[in-house]
Amino acid sequence: MANVEQEIASQRGLISTLRRNGQDTSSAAAELHLMEQTYMQYIGDRDRLRTELSVLNAAEAAKARFTETRDP
């Protein structure tokens, strides 16, 4: 993940350099937008999966505790 953040920072730096030099930044900006959107989608998916896994783990733990209390 840190690598992606570095790539995004590098792309922002490239855009700044292009802008300072009076060059067109449209394709670099479009690439940056795509990189940022993809990264945000990844973060959202990761967080959703973590939440789902946490719920599943809690359910499994509750099931195990329930089973333990029912066995003589």
Domain ranges of the chain: 2-70
This prediction has a pTM of: 0.74
pLDDT at 2 over 80: yes
Share of the chain above pLDDT 70, in %: 97
Q: Please give the DSSP secondary-structure letter assigned to residue 72.
A: -
What whole-number distance in Å separates Cα of residue 70 and Cα of residue 72? Answer: 6
What whole-number distance in Å separates Cα of residue 15 and Cα of residue 19? Answer: 6
Tens-digit pLDDT profile for residues 20-50: 999 999 999 999 999 999 999 999 999 999 9
Using only C-alpha atoms, the chain has a radius of gyration, in whole angstroms, of 23
Provide the mean pLDDT of the chain. Answer: 94
What whole-number distance in Å separates Cα of residue 36 and Cα of residue 15? Answer: 14
